[in-house]
A and B are shown apart, each in its own frame.
Chain A
Amino acid sequence: MFSGSLFAWATLTWVICFFAVLGGPKTIGYITLVTATLPFIFLIVTDISYMGLNSLVEGEGGSFYFGADFTLADGTIYDPSTQLKSLLKDAYAQVFFSTGVCVGIYQAYASYNPIKQPVISLALGIALTDFLFAIIAGFTVWGAVGYLMATGAPEAYQTTSVGLAFIAMPTASA
Chain B
Amino acid sequence: MGKMYAFFCFTLWLAGLDSAFCYVESMVTNMLDLLNENRMDGKSLARRALCAAVVCMFGIAITGAFTTNFGWILFDMVEHYIADYLIVPVGLLQCVCVGW
**A22 to B14 alpha-carbon distance, docked (Å):** 19
> Which among A49, A97, A102 has the highest number of chain B CB atoms within 10 Å?
A102
**A89 to B87 alpha-carbon distance, docked (Å):** 11
- B4 to A50, Cβ gap below 8 A? yes
Q: Does A35 contact B (CB under 8 A)?
A: yes
- A22 to B2, Cβ gap below 8 A? no
| A-contact bits for B20-55, CB 8 A (1 contact / 0 none) | 111111111110010000101000000011001101
- B56 to A42, Cβ gap below 8 A? no
- B25 to A108, Cβ gap below 8 A? yes
Choose one: A3, A11, A45; the contact of B7 (CB below 8 Å).
Answer: A45
A112 / chain B contacts, CB cutoff of 8 Å = 29
Question: Interface range on chain A: under 10, 10 to 19, 20 to 34, or 35 or more?
Answer: 35 or more
27 contacts between A and B (CB under 8 A): A2-B67, A7-B64, A14-B60, A16-B17, A18-B52, A18-B56, A21-B28, A21-B55, A22-B48, A31-B21, A39-B14, A42-B11, A46-B7, A46-B11, A93-B87, A96-B91, A100-B23, A104-B30, A104-B94, A105-B26, A107-B98, A109-B25, A160-B76, A161-B79, A162-B76, A173-B2, A173-B8
Given contacts A13-B20, A21-B21, 8 further A-B contacts (CB under 8 A): A15-B56, A32-B22, A42-B10, A45-B7, A96-B87, A104-B26, A108-B33, A140-B8
B contact residues vs A (CB 8 Å cutoff): 1-5, 7-8, 10-30, 33, 38, 40, 48-49, 52-53, 55-56, 59-60, 63-64, 66-69, 72, 75-76, 79, 83-84, 87-88, 90-91, 94, 98
A contact residues vs B (CB 8 Å cutoff): 1-3, 6-7, 10-11, 13-18, 20-22, 24-25, 28, 31-32, 35-36, 38-39, 42-43, 45-46, 49-50, 89, 92-93, 96-97, 100-105, 107-109, 111-112, 140, 160-162, 165, 169-170, 173-174
